Structure 1
Amino acid sequence: MALLIKSKCTNCDMCEPECPNNAIFMGEEIYEIDPNLCTECKGHYEKPTCQSVCPINNCIITDPDNVETEEQLLEKFVIIQGLA
């Protein structure tokens, strides 16, 4: 499952530098997450760092349009890191 930043984002700049896959970027109004790069930090950390550093409660959620299994996320991690 990729993550999604909700519209209540305040653009605090906390999440972007924490993303190990560079999946977070500034969109037209708020930060956004590229679902093709988001692994929910699988392969890097135990839980998503963007959620850990976000000061807004429940601002970064599971993207209902990009549901993936843990196995799929780990496969994506391997591909992104060039380990395949």
Structure 2
Amino acid sequence: MTDATTQRPALPDHLSIDPRSPHYAPAVFEHEIGIRFNDKERFDVEEYCLSEGWVKVPANKTLDRKGKPLLIKIKGKVEAFYK
């Protein structure tokens, strides 16, 4: 193992990219992470939960009443990893 891999924090079970979420972990985002969903890498994941097996992704260009992308929850096999 290199020094870079030993200093990375462990990836949490539940993670969100929204800073207002209780599942936001800024230390994790100091490194580039990837999400593999049903054995395909996804680049549009906003939130994930490994133990429950779901990801939240934007629903096309649809926005909620606050102007944020409307998210849909998709269930399947979720893997998170450092790139």
* Superposed pair shares fold, TM > 0.5: no
Q: Which has the larger radius of gyration?
A: 2
Compute the TM-score of the two structures, normalised by the length of structure 1. 0.28
Compute the TM-score of the two structures, normalised by the length of structure 2. 0.28
Structure with a larger share of its residues in helix: 1
